[in-house]
């Protein structure tokens, strides 16, 4: 059995080595941390599976038609990580989160593959240049791959064998700031316009007023946890620590008290949700210049010829909550106003009305994703497209077919190339690198 496992494993290695491409870039080692729930309740502390899985059970059996999956794009946030002072590294439970996601994805989509081993012949993986996102990609692939084996068939050293060999396959391609497709425009010196817009947002009277209104509750949280919360950033760092320590099962008593207090916890959660969307995607121009490259890449993947007629291709993006936030903002599934109305519909209505040019009401409002949250964008053989977030289907008018996706991208980002190099250069550099890779194969 060990010999058979090694044969299968190195067959996988050979296949993946011809297609596995990772795009990386050095950024300041920070990212915002939010959750996807909009309910006005604290987490259920006894429900560990909910904390680990980020998978809804609402639409488990949605592939009931005769359509054949042609291509699948999977975009994930990394798993639970340590605090900023501990280096923001992936925790053991964080690894397990992505492993479970990999298993669930195999369960959902393996029916579209004639032979389960073929599922891995057409796979590309991209990640940002952080240990936590690289590891998240590895453990996602581990869960994806091991699902075809029965438990008794697995070698006891299966995990170590797989991860060790996969590690040697990941070629870290360090690009310049303008050519990263997953964090484009975020905290980049070269993306001058985005820096200007972020500065406007964080210094706006609206943003400052919001913090002032929340400060009485914030001060209670600070006193309880002995943590200085002077900005929205301080708040989401604390929120991140609470969620991560809860997932790991080692939450301290002060953090436990915040988690158990509905008013304190909901305020902290709102500050996370609101500040990320308002700061980085608070205006239409910000959404366009920060998401253009990734949306162009998605369109490019779907528009290119299939790699195989036998099995669908799979593209994995291992990234951050800010990446998923951008997709939600571009598809009009979130904005600052809908988040405010979801949490505090009456208290801040006067602030919303004071700045009506920034926001519009939304029927669907997705808040920022928690650890291991994930998106699947599915392309079928009839060129229909389906958008799935945490296993729940969202019907998006501009994303129901390949033609509509093309029309949306061409119209939504019209004129951005000529105005802002941070998006156009990014896509150009990415395409150039892809051509170099293809010429070497």
Domain boundaries, the chain: 2-440
Say what the pLDDT of residue 74 is. Answer: 95
| pLDDT at residue 36, as a whole number | 31
If the chain, 441 residues long, is cut into consecutive pieces of 10 residues, what is the mean pLDDT of each piece?
42 40 33 30 41 51 67 94 87 94 90 65 80 89 78 60 60 46 57 81 88 92 94 92 91 94 92 91 87 89 76 86 93 90 70 61 87 96 95 91 95 73 47 46 38
* Length of the chain (residues): 441
Superfamily of domain covering 2-440: Phosphoglycerate mutase-like (3.40.50.1240)
Do the strands 123-127 and 69-77 form a parallel or antiparallel pair, or are they unpaired?
A: unpaired
**Both structure tokens of 264:** 């304190």
Q: Counting beta carbons within 10 angstroms of the beta carbon of residue 205, is it exposed (0 to 12), middle (13 to 18) or buried (19 or more)?
A: exposed
H helix runs in 282-335, sequence order:
284-303, 321-330
User: What is residue 310's predicted lDDT score, i.e. its pLDDT?
Assistant: 65
Q: Are 376 and 388 in contact (CB under 8 A)?
A: yes
CA atoms within 13 A on the CB side of 216: 2
Angle between the N-to-C axes of helices 402-412 and 284-303, in degrees from 0 to 180, rounded to the nearest 10:
140
**CB contact burial 144-154 (16+ within 10 A = b; e otherwise):** bbbbbeeeeee
Contacts of 220 (CB under 8 A, 6+ apart): 264
pTM, full prediction: 0.80
At 116 the pLDDT is 60
- Number of Cβ atoms within 10 Å of the Cβ of 351: 17
Token pair for residue 152?
């008794």
Q: Which residue has the tokens 């494993």?
A: 9
């Amino acid at each position: 059995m060990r010999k058979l496992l090694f044969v299968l494993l190195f067959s996988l290695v050979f296949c993946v080595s011809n297609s596995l491409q990772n795009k990386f870039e050095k950024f300041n080692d920070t990212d915002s941390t939010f959750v996807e729930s909009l309910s006005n309740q604290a987490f259920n502390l006894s429900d560990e599976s909910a904390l680990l899985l980020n998978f809804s059970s609402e639409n488990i059996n949605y592939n009931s038609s005769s359509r054949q999956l042609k291509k699948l794009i999977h975009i994930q946030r990394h798993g639970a990580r340590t605090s900023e002072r501990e280096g923001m590294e992936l925790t053991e439970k964080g690894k397990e989160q992505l492993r479970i996601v990999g298993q669930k994805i195999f369960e959902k989509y393996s029916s579209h593959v004639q032979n389960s081993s073929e599922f891995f012949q057409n796979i590309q993986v991209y990640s940002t240049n952080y240990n936590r996102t690289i590891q998240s990609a590895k453990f996602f692939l581990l869960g994806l791959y091991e699902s075809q084996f029965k438990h008794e068939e697995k070698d006891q050293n299966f995990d170590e064998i797989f991860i060790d060999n996969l590690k040697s396959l990941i070629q870290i391609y360090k690009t310049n700031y303008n050519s990263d497709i997953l964090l484009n425009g975020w905290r980049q010196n070269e993306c001058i316009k985005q820096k200007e817009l972020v500065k406007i947002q964080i210094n706006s009277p609206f943003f400052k007023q919001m913090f002032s209104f929340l400060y009485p509750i914030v001060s209670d949280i600070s006193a309880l946890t002995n943590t200085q919360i002077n900005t929205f950033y301080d708040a989401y760092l604390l929120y991140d620590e609470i969620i991560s320590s809860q997932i790991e099962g080692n939450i301290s008593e002060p953090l436990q008290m915040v988690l158990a207090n509905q008013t304190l916890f909901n305020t902290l959660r709102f500050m996370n949700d609101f500040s990320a969307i308002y700061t980085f995607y608070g205006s239409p121009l910000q959404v366009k210049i920060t998401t253009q490259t990734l949306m162009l890449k998605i369109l490019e993947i779907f528009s290119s010829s299939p790699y195989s007629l036998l099995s669908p291709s799979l593209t994995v993006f291992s990234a951050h909550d800010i990446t998923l936030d951008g997709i939600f903002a571009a598809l009009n599934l979130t904005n600052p106003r809908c988040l405010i109305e979801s949490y505090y519909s009456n208290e801040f209505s006067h602030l919303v009305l004071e700045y009506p040019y920034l926001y519009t009401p939304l029927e669907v409002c997705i808040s920022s994703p928690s650890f291991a949250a994930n998106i699947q964008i599915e392309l079928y053989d009839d060129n229909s497209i389906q958008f799935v977030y945490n296993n729940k289907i969202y019907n998006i008018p501009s994303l129901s077919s390949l033609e509509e996706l093309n029309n949306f991208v061409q119209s939504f980002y019209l004129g951005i190339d000529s105005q802002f190099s941070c998006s156009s250069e990014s896509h150009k550099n990415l395409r150039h690198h892809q051509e170099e890779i293809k010429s070497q194969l």
